[in-house]
Structure 1
Amino acid sequence: MAGIYPDGFWEEQGTIAIYMRHLGAIILSHDQGEDLSHLLSWKGLTLEHLETRVQQSGYDIAGFLLLSTCNRVEIIYSIENPSDHAAFYEALVESLPPVQGPAPDFKTGRPVARHLLRLSAGLESMVLGETDIRHQMKEAKAAAIRGGHLDYRLRTVLQGVFRHSRYIRSYIPSNLPLSVSSLAVRFLEDSLGGLDSSDSGIAIIGSGPMSRHTAEYLSKWGGRNLVWINRTVEKVQDLASGVGARAISLQEFLSNPASAGKLRAM
């Protein structure tokens, strides 16, 4: 896909080439295993937890952000001394919960900018060209800003990445599913012979972005008797009402599965 990078991107980044030497990325993603089980130990990682581990590493980290989605966990950082990249990687990974599976991928320098560009354009996603990841990257950036963790190097590179990834997206066919959620609902529709082919219900579990988007697609494409199950029912009550779903708590469902009614898919 190298030929579709927009004219001027790398030239523009060349003006801040000195920044790139300071950038690093520690990555767990769907590309590294047959399933997503190797992500589990890092899925509970928070920005606050990461901040503590970064400080305890003893290395001079100028900025960092945490990107955590349903199929990847990434730590993007800026280090003051580029010669410390490898040592910081080893120290940080050692301090985090052990990964059951492939070791986290490690990138430094220009490959980090290339990765972020491909990621924002949807080229690294399970679904080619998906749009959710760009929003998730912007949310990760905003969280880093709120926490005071986004330095000028990361800010500058991310601004270029978001600007130029729109150009790359123009090469992706518009008839492709735009997210993992839409692909999942299309698969479900084909498997069931239509979302409106039965009065039995369809359950949505969780309150994350994928669950929210799946609920929206199910409602838009004719899904009937939607049931939204979440640990805290209040958290999804308004969302459920917005798509015509009934909300119940996870505890209620586990203690009495019949409370969800007759289900044909979850």
Structure 2
Amino acid sequence: MSVWTLGLNHTTAPLDLRGRFAFALDQLAPTLQSLRSSFATGRHPQVEAAIISTCNRTEIYCAAEHAALDHTVGWLAESGGVAPALLRSHAYALQDDEAARHVFRVASGLDSMVLGEAQILGQMKDAVRAAETAGALGSTLNQLFQRSFAVAKEVRTATEIGAHSISMAAAAVRLAGQLFEDLHQTRVLFVGAGEMIDLAATHFAARDPKSIAIANRTLERGEKLASRFGGEAMRLADLPNRLAEFDIVVSCTASTLPIIGLGAVERALKARKHRPMFMVDLAVPRDIEPEVKALEDIYLYTVDDLAQVVQQGQANRQAAVAQAEVIIDAGVQSFMHWLGQRGSVPLIQQLNAQADEWRATEMARARKLLARGEPVDAVLEAMSRGLTQKMMHGAMAELHAGDAASREQTAQAISRLFLRKER
């Protein structure tokens, strides 16, 4: 059995390329079905699969009898509309222990833009549930992910990997504070109502801005989030006409196309008499057209632009990283040992089936003898002798077959298997 992963993240691929391979949570089931169906047409009919897709990464995890990295690259490249060579130049392909090490590091927050952040763990659990619901998660991948969650828990408990980490949302507040002297006087608009917006709104609300508004495609969900912060909710369709009211705009939706265009921002600036606007686009693919960044009086940051801010203080956590890597090493070794044992499962199943067949044969013979009135002790003696002969027949035949060297090897194996002394 082999496991492998193909992925690209904030360190290997630019934002716009990552956007081509972003999958919303409700897209995972059909996407996994497409991936597994593509394997079924080749030499790998039984493939387990899971996909993790966040603003910083898209990763495919698979398990099968034999690894099929080239096929996985081809499928993902086609799904994103790019050449396989381009994808390979920005992706990483890992197999077996390297794949296990990677997923353990991701779960533990060691591979995140924000070192030690815990949000990725929840996103991974969502991805695993989606794969399980889609029927794509088999015993091997389930074991891999459950072990990664356990390793992540140990890392966070035994080290200070998450100490002093700066989240994306906290970084956005910090940058906004550099533009506006007093955040109390700002009006903040959040576009979307998902987990990232919830986190960002929590951080900005702590700075007590003048007002908070939530724009969302589903008004009811927007109202639910807005009520927590004493804000108002608005429909996404009303956004262009009201954009000028806000000093700070933070957007993160699952839209596949930008929802805040250059024209809308230009009109908003004109209505604001060119008072500056601070904009944060946390979405992948982008929510805000990239051309907006070139406008004067617009300060637009993407998830990649926040990298320098969130990585501050990383040096203080290198000791914790070293401790975490030791825990991860142990987890990898344990998983690979388990994976190696999985190779014996078919043989074990065959042995059990053969033993059951022998037992059934001898039981049927014993019942016939008892029905004819044979003594119970004699029947038991015959049954035990029959089972013993069946169990020993193969070993005895091998002892008398082959050359001297092969007979010696057989003798040693038989001694280990049948002549062990009970301890």
* TM tier, smaller: 0.7 to 0.9
Structure showing greater Rg: 2
Cα distance 1:214–1:236, how it changes in 2: closer, same or farther (>3 A)?
A: same
**Residues in 2 aligned to 1:182 and 1:153: alpha-carbon distance in whole angstroms:** 37
Moved more, 91-100 or 235-244: 91-100
**Residues in 2 aligned to 1:86 and 1:55: alpha-carbon distance in whole angstroms:** 15
Q: Report the equivalent of 2:245.
A: 261
Q: Report the equivalent of 1:56.
A: 38
One-letter identity of the residue aligned with 1:187: L
2:206 corresponds to 1:220: yes
Q: Report the equivalent of 1:203.
A: 189
**Residues in 1 aligned to 2:183 and 2:54: alpha-carbon distance in whole angstroms:** 27
One-letter identity of the residue aligned with 1:175: H
Q: Is the 8 A contact 1:38 1:99 kept in 2?
A: no
**Residues in 2 aligned to 1:181 and 1:218: alpha-carbon distance in whole angstroms:** 8
State the 1:216 CA deviation: 1.6
Partner SS state of residue 189, structure 1:
helix
Q: Report the equivalent of 2:168.
A: 180
Gaps of 5+ in 2: 249-277, 280-423
Deviations 1:51-92 (A, max 9, x none): 12320232334321111111111111112223xx23422442
Cα distance 1:23–1:224, how it changes in 2: closer, same or farther (>3 A)?
A: farther
Give 1:105-120 correspondences, 5 Å limit.
Answer: 105-120=92-107
Q: Report the equivalent of 2:232.
A: 246
**Residues in 2 aligned to 1:120 and 1:236: alpha-carbon distance in whole angstroms:** 30
Q: Report the equivalent of 1:71.
A: 56
**Residues in 2 aligned to 1:62 and 1:92: alpha-carbon distance in whole angstroms:** 14
2:114 corresponds to 1:127: yes
**Residues in 2 aligned to 1:60 and 1:183: alpha-carbon distance in whole angstroms:** 46
Q: Report the equivalent of 1:40.
A: 19
Gaps of 5+ in 1: 1-18
Q: Is the 8 A contact 1:54 1:92 kept in 2?
A: no
Tell me the number of residue pairs that the alignment of Structure 1 and Structure 2 aligns. 238
Partner SS state of residue 216, structure 1:
helix
Give 1:160-171 correspondences, 5 Å limit.
Answer: 160-169=147-156, 170-171=159-160
**Residues in 2 aligned to 1:262 and 1:208: alpha-carbon distance in whole angstroms:** 20
State the 1:31 CA deviation: 0.8
One-letter identity of the residue aligned with 2:16: S
Q: Report the equivalent of 2:3.
A: 23
Cα distance 1:121–1:107, how it changes in 2: closer, same or farther (>3 A)?
A: same
Q: Report the equivalent of 2:341.
A: none
Q: Is the 8 A contact 1:42 1:99 kept in 2?
A: no
Give the helix-richer structure, 1 or 2. Answer: 2
Partner SS state of residue 114, structure 2:
coil
TM-score, length basis structure 1: 0.80
Moved more, 153-162 or 49-58: 49-58
Moved more, 69-78 or 98-107: 98-107
State the 1:194 CA deviation: 4.4
State the 1:39 CA deviation: 1.1
Q: Is the 8 A contact 1:219 1:244 kept in 2?
A: no
State the 1:234 CA deviation: 2.6
**Residues in 1 aligned to 2:45 and 2:160: alpha-carbon distance in whole angstroms:** 40
**Residues in 2 aligned to 1:239 and 1:92: alpha-carbon distance in whole angstroms:** 38
Q: Is the 8 A contact 1:39 1:99 kept in 2?
A: no
RMSD: 2.2
State the 1:171 CA deviation: 3.4
Report percent identity of matched pairs: 26
Q: Is the 8 A contact 1:53 1:95 kept in 2?
A: no
2:84 corresponds to 1:98: no
State the 1:102 CA deviation: 4.8
Partner SS state of residue 213, structure 2:
strand
**Residues in 1 aligned to 2:4 and 2:36: alpha-carbon distance in whole angstroms:** 13
